Structure 1
Amino acid sequence: MKKILLLFSICLISMLGYAQTNEDGKESVYIDYFSRPGSINNILAEALRNKIIEGIQEMNRVVLIDVDSNEALKTEARRRQEASAMGDVVARSEAMTTLGAKYLIQGNITSMQGIKKTDSKGKPYYKGSVSYTLKIVDPSNGTLKGTQAFSHEGLTGSIGDTPEEAIIKTLDYAKISMDDFVNENFKIQGTIVQVESTKKDKAQTVYVDLGTKRGIQKGQKFTVYIEMDIAGELSLKEIGRLNVKEVLSGTRSLCSVSKGGEEIMRATKEERKLIIISRKDTFLSL
């Protein structure tokens, strides 16, 4: 026990200088092991976790670190499995903070099953159904930053000849779902630096100070705000919306104005700071 604790302490001390954000301004986020009922196959649970990791990494929004890749955290995880250390959440949070984690993603898998169906010819098949919840925790104080429940079934439940095959196929939707999860919980803030084109006193395209270094991709959507002083307190007022048309460099992107072109043009002429904040993509949004 003492040897394990000593090893863990040495590993922590060696990483005391690890920053919570890297040079590109991306936050360091650890993804923990997922909890699950004993009835759920461990291989399928790990397959879901891996799909979620893939989906978050493809967004290139945060520096995602798997706790399984860190020897100090693996040692600490084994320590927590001992009866005397079960439920030692404080130690876990302290470890994450020391290692430089801005946030910790925790997962709880509630259901993974292949539901038996029969086609019009009487042939049996299975439809996948997967449900889980992701939580984002600030390890420095244990506060919850956000939580989101996911359920992939029905139209998003893929079919297979076996329950396992149906579940595995359904996991691709977990990867896809991470786009909105990241946009909702790890927002990017920047500014409009220049209006590129106009039409009848309305901004049509603008340049923003965000690019590949912050994980910006074509199609990313932003809300545009101006600062308002209300009774001595600063607040943000929405005046428009943007869609990324082209990512030009690490710190520049060209965006089309989908809403509020006149207001954006007016604010530009008044030399007001135009703040942009990322938002999740929806079929109904501009």
Structure 2
Amino acid sequence: MKKILLAIMFGIMALCTYAQSNTEGKEKVYIDYFSHSRDISNTMAEALRSKVIEGIHEMNRVVLIDVASDEALKKEAIRRQKESAMGDVTARSEEMKTLGARYLIQGQISSMTATRKKDDDGKIYYKGSVSYTLKVVDPSDGTLKGTQTFTHEGLTGGRGDTSEEAILKTLDYVKLSMDDFVDEYFKIEGTIVQIEEVKNKKAKTVYIDLGKTKGVLESQKFLVYAEVDIAGEISRKEIGQLNVKEVLSAGRSLCKVTKGGEEIFRLNQEGTKLIVVSRKQTFMGGIF
């Protein structure tokens, strides 16, 4: 187990080095220690937290900073753990504001268990199950931006010869689930700057003003909104969808129009501002 945890931590260190070298234009987000009951070991809780960190880093969407890297925040987190007050964000709000944090991610681990089973040949194995909740909080005032609960069991539960191995293998699904979490709470927003290909008055491919700097990835999906004036109030109307074909530079990506090509072309010709907002990935990166 020690070897597994060491491998996780070395992987996190490498990801942190990469992420911190490309921080321009990204929101600074701190991730707190995760609270958990006494029947969950600190070692296993940290293994889960490490997978969350790893998954968020790989999205390259935000500057993610571990509270353990700041001594003042680390001491305060330890104090709060002892007082069983992990939900009290205001105790560190001033420190967070000084450090320029936009959001704080908090975690509450509900369960980390494994069920003893027997296969068709009579061999004993264990099936892991993990459940936890992540909260995204504005540390300046404690406002909750959102909360999401994850449960990995059954098809997303790891299998092992021991309960510990089964739980650790289940944590691989924790990392994978961070894609949707980041897409939900840390969206990318930009505009269509040029239509690249048109066929039968339908936009086929377009350029957007988002690229590597904002963490755009190939196959990233976007919704397209037209900015419209409704009785003097600016609103947005969804008109289409895009799929990134190629990330060209720090601030440009080429996208395939997967829905609403005719409307995108017409409104672009009229000079309407077309806004793109990232959306959750579909299963296995499939198209719409």
- In structure 2, how many angstroms separate the alpha carbons of the residues matched to 1:225 and 1:54? 32
1:11-52 CA-to-partner distances (Å, cap 9, x unmatched) read xxxxxxxxxxx9722100000000001001211110000000
**Which deviates more from structure 2 when the two are superposed, residues 132-141 or residues 22-31?**
22-31
Q: Matches of 2:180 and 2:78 in 1, distance apart?
A: 33
- Alignment partner of 1:177 is 2:140: no
Matched residue, 1:151: 151
Is 2:61 the counterpart of 1:61? Answer: yes
The percentage of aligned residue pairs carrying the same residue is: 69
Equivalent residue number for residue 239 of structure 1: 239
Q: Partners in 2 of 1:179 and 1:85 — Cα distance? A: 29
Deviation at 1:88, TM superposition (A): 5.6
2:5 matched residue in structure 1: none
Q: Residues 1-286 of structure 1 correspond to what in structure 2 (within 5 A)?
A: 24-80=24-80, 89-283=89-283, 286=288
DSSP 3-state at the match of 1:227 = strand
Q: 1:128 to 1:86 in 2, by over 3 A?
A: closer
For residues 203 and 137 of structure 2, the distance between their equivalents in structure 1, rounded to whole angstroms, comes to 39
Larger Rg: 1
Distance 1:44 1:250, change over 3 A: same
- The RMSD of aligned alpha carbons is 1.8
CA contact (8 A) 2:23 2:213 kept: no
Query: In structure 1, how many angstroms separate the alpha carbons of the residues matched to 2:243 and 2:165?
Result: 38
Structure 2: how far apart are the matches of 1:143 and 1:74? Answer: 22
For structure 1, which runs of at least 5 residues remain unmatched after alignment? 1-21
Which residue number corresponds to residue 7 of structure 1? none
For the residues of structure 1 that align with 2:84 and 2:130, how far apart are their CA atoms? 33
What is the CA–CA distance in structure 1 between the aligned matches of 2:183 and 2:45, rounded to whole Å?
Answer: 24
Higher mean alpha-carbon deviation, 75-84 vs 266-275, is at 75-84
TM-score (normalizing by structure 2): 0.88
Structure 2 portions without partners, runs of 5+: 1-21
Calculate the TM-score normalised by the size of structure 1.
Answer: 0.88
**CA, structure 1 residues 266+113, in 2 after alignment: closer, same or farther (shift >3 Å)?**
same
SS at match of 1:47: helix
Deviations 1:231-274 (A, max 9, x none): 22111000000000000000000000000000000011101111
Per-residue CA shift, 1:87-109, capped at 9, x if unaligned?
76422222222221100000000
Q: In 2 relative to 1, CA 261–83 (structure 1 residues): closer, same or farther, beyond 3 Å?
A: closer
SS in structure 1 of the partner of residue 167 of structure 2: helix
Specify the code of the residue in structure 2 equivalent to 1:169.
K
